[in-house]
Chains A and B, each alone.
Chain A
Amino acid sequence: MICEKCDKKNATVHFTKIIHGKKTEWHLCESCAREKGELERPFGGGFPLHQFFSEMMGFMPGGSSDKLLPQAQTGVQCSCCGLTYAQFGQIGRFGCENCYEAFAKCLPALFRKLHGSQKHRGKIPLRTDKGVKLRKDIALLREELQRKIAEEAFEEAAALRDRIKKLEKEREAGGAAGEGKG
């Protein structure tokens, strides 16, 4: 199908408009659609999925009808990239790693809704401080221990308890060594 406006390129944008009950169909090429303002993207033109995302999360542009975006928080701004929480609500994207700190108060509810959790249980970068890795391993083993106790698998629970003790010792030793160096 050829673009109805320029009559040259292939029509790749198809849409139907209903204004005052009158239906009109359009078949345009991408550049004519952009010219006509049908492909305009807010916020610098970088977020084609923003609407899908905002709707999925219950964010509405402007934020007035959204429970996850309390009015009091909409003005919070990331000091690093300048993104406000209201803008985050509109585009559904963080601007930088610091946004996670800047919007920290509002995020737990969002993560619970999206993931049912707010705690990472996966891979840890090799470069991360060894203490962090040990703390995470210990926390995971403790969860596992609770499960085994609930299942009354006491032998396995005892083995887990010993592993936890060993890791805790390692952590303490590491911490003491670190303090000694400092």
Chain B
Amino acid sequence: MKEKDERWIPERDPSMGEHTQAGCENRRLEKICSKFLEGTGPEADVVISSRVRLARNIRDHLFPPLASNLQRKNILQLCREILQEEEERFSRFQFLELDSISGVFKQVLVEKHLISPLMARENVCSALCLREDETLGIMINEEDHIHIQCMLPGLQLEQAWQEASLLDDCLENQASYAFHEELGYLTACPTTVGTGLRASVMLHLPALVITRQINRILFALNKVGLVLQGIYGESTDFTGNLFQVSNQITLGQSEDEIWQNLYGVTRQLINQEKKAREHLLNEGRERLDDRSGRALGVMRYARVLGVQEVMQLISDVRLGLDLGLVRDISAGTLNKLLALTQPGCLQYLKGRELSAYEQDLERAAQVQKFLDC
């Protein structure tokens, strides 16, 4: 496990002073646009990513919401020791204490879904232990002592569950979990008790939005124990036609039942979205072609771009790309643009706080730069 990898040292890195501004920006850009974003998994034209999170607590220690700073510090130390015991397994992981990084960099981690918004706000003695490829991580002292997270591109729920579960077994070699024979894994929040498993998929559903079928579908999801959120947590902000569907029930179903249920529903959503796309193509191919062409045009030539606007534009171009109407751009580029144009990433890239207007200017400049490459 690496303590201080340069890749993770944010803007305070003194070595950066010796480089040119452009050099620093390039290095920061590399951190934002990690390899994960290039990945294209199964069903990548609708499913952006699959994620599995396991909540665990260590026996005989207060849960983080009620623990004092000292108790949280003890948990952090305990987790550190556990990870050190399994050194070989964690050799490709980096350990990042959240107290020691800037607010902007925390925002970058939230925008990349590597930590939760809660953890960015409440992070006394919290840490993130993240594998180099950024697909597997452990959040320490979030709402529970340990949150194991595996996030993979495309529809890969089974793989994500297996990988998270393997890491869980590995931690359990060293730690005794708070577990109840009847209730399962005991968690701080009653909504996660039992398996402690939250599985989710991030979906791009533009055709269901355009054909106004989405509300009917959202209503149906609730009936099968699934919940729909915006991509940044508990909000219902569906900007960019991006949706996150996850399981609500964690007690009374096995882990396999939980991910399989979500998988089945995701398959149905994919089919519905594809049917809607076909319908739109039959109704007027030129109209769709125009939509993605215009979006690409605005992205290339706009000078001021808001975050919501750019997310909608990216969605329009992505739809064109998936339908073969746009060719000179890749899905990976769009994924990277989606990450790069978020407020935290933009400010991190420039190495300073930007006003809302400055962000809009910078966003437009970065989009152009990216598309010109």
* A21 close to chain B: CB less than 8 A: no
| Nearest CB in chain B to that of A120: its residue | B184
Q: B143 in the interface, Cβ–Cβ < 8 Å?
A: yes
CA distance A95 to B253 in the complex (A): 25
Residue-wise, chain A 157-169 has the 8 Å CB interface mask toward B (1 for contact) of 0000000000000
Q: Which of B62, B118, B165, B189 contacts A92 (CB 8 A)?
A: B189
Q: In the assembled complex, how far is the CB of residue B275 from the closest CB belonging to chain A, in whole angstroms?
A: 31
Interface-forming stretch among B87-95, B190-198, B209-217? B190-198
Cα–Cα distance between A120 and B187 once the two chains are bound (Å): 13
Instruction: Find residues 239-269 in chain B having any chain A CB closer than 8 Å to their own CB.
Output: 249-255, 257-258
Query: B70 contacts the other chain (Cβ, under 8 Å)?
Result: no
- Check B251–A120 contact: CB distance below 8 A: yes
CB pair A10–B183 under 8 Å, yes or no, is no
Please tell me if the beta carbons of B355 and A2 are within 8 angstroms of each other in the complex.
yes
Residues of A within 8 A of B57 (CB): 97
Q: Does B172 contact A (CB under 8 A)?
A: yes
Chain A interface size, under 10 / 10 to 19 / 20 to 34 / 35 or more: 35 or more
Q: Assess whether A95 is in contact with B195, with CB atoms less than 8 Å apart.
A: no
Q: Which residues of A contact B182 (CB under 8 A)?
A: 118-120
Within 128-186 of B, Cβ neighbours of A (below 8 Å) are at 143, 165, 168-169, 172-173, 176-186
Does residue B66 face the partner (Cβ distance < 8 Å to A)? yes
Out of A11, A81, A97, A118, name the residue touching B178 (CB < 8 Å). A97
CA distance A107 to B255 in the complex (A): 22
Once bound together, how far apart are the Cα atoms of A123 and B250, in whole Å? 12
What residues of A have a CB within 8 angstroms of the CB of B179 in the complex? 124-125, 128
Which of these, B66, B178, B180, contacts A93 with CB under 8 Å? Answer: B66
Q: Decide yes or no: A10 and B353 within 8 Å by CB, A91-B65, A97-B57, A120-B180 being known contacts.
A: yes
A122→B197 contact, CB < 8 A: yes
In this assembly, does B99 line the interface, its C-beta being within 8 Å of a C-beta of chain A? no
Q: Are B253 and A122 within 8 A (Cβ)?
A: yes
Annotate B56-69 by CB proximity to A: 1 below 8 A, 0 otherwise: 01011111011000
| Residues of chain B lying within 8 A (CB to CB) of residue A96 | 61-63, 66
Given the known A-B contacts A48-B122, A122-B184, A123-B165, are A111 and B251 also in contact in the complex, defined by CB atoms under 8 Å?
Answer: yes
Please tell me if the beta carbons of B122 and A93 are within 8 angstroms of each other in the complex. Answer: no
Query: Which B residues are CB-close (under 8 A) to A135?
Result: 181
**The one of A94, A110, A115, A136 that contacts B186, using a Cβ cutoff of 8 Å:** A94
In the bound assembly, the distance between CA atoms of A135 and B181 in angstroms comes to: 10
Q: Are A126 and B194 in contact (CB under 8 A)?
A: no
Residues of A within 8 A of B143 (CB): 93
Q: How large is the interface on B (under 10, 10 to 19, 20 to 34, 35 or more residues)?
A: 35 or more
In the bound complex, residues from chain A placing their C-beta under 8 Å from that of B165 are 123
Known contacts A94-B188, A120-B183, A122-B194; decide if A46 and B177 are in contact (CB<8 Å): no
Chain B contacts of A100 at CB under 8 A?
180, 183, 186, 193
A154 at the interface (CB under 8 A from B): no
Most-contacted residue by chain A among B168, B172, B193, B225 (CB, 10 A): B193
A88 — nearest CB in chain B belongs to which residue? B190
Are the C-beta atoms of B355 and A10 separated by less than 8 Å? yes
Instruction: Given A94-B188, A100-B183, A127-B176, decide whether A122 and B62 contact each other with a Cβ distance below 8 A.
Output: no
Which residues on the B side are within 8 Å of A26 (C-beta)? Answer: none
For the complex, give the distance between the alpha carbons of A123 and B181 in Å: 11
The listed residue (A80, A93, A124) touching B188 by CB distance below 8 A is A93
Instruction: Please indicate the chain B residues that have their CB under 8 angstroms from the CB of A176 in the complex.
Output: none
- Whether B234 sits at the interface, judged by CB under 8 Å, is yes
Closest to A140 in B: B254
- Set of chain B residues within 8 Å of A120, measured between Cβ atoms: 180-185, 194-195, 251-252
Query: Are B355 and A115 neighbours in the complex by a CB distance under 8 Å?
Result: no
Within 8 A of B (CB), among A78-106: 80-81, 83, 91-97, 100
Instruction: Give A46 to B234 CA distance when docked, in angstroms.
Output: 17
Chain A residue nearest to B64 in the complex (CB)? A46
Q: A110 — which chain B residues lie within 8 A by C-beta?
A: 190
Determine if B62 and A117 form an interchain contact, defined as CB atoms under 8 angstroms apart: no
In the assembled complex, B16 has its CB within 8 A of some CB on chain A: no
| B347 and chain A: residue at smallest CB distance | A10
* Residue among A1, A96, A110 with most chain B CB within 10 A: A96
* Chain A residues, CB < 8 A from B178: 97
A49 touches B190 (CB 8 A): no
Residues in chain A within 8 A of chain B (CB atoms): 1-2, 9-11, 46-49, 52-53, 57, 80-81, 83, 91-97, 100, 107, 110-111, 114-128, 132, 135-136
Q: Would you mind naming 13 contact pairs between A and B with Cβ atoms under 8 Å apart?
A: A1-B356, A2-B355, A10-B355, A46-B65, A81-B66, A93-B143, A95-B63, A116-B252, A118-B182, A118-B183, A120-B195, A122-B184, A125-B179
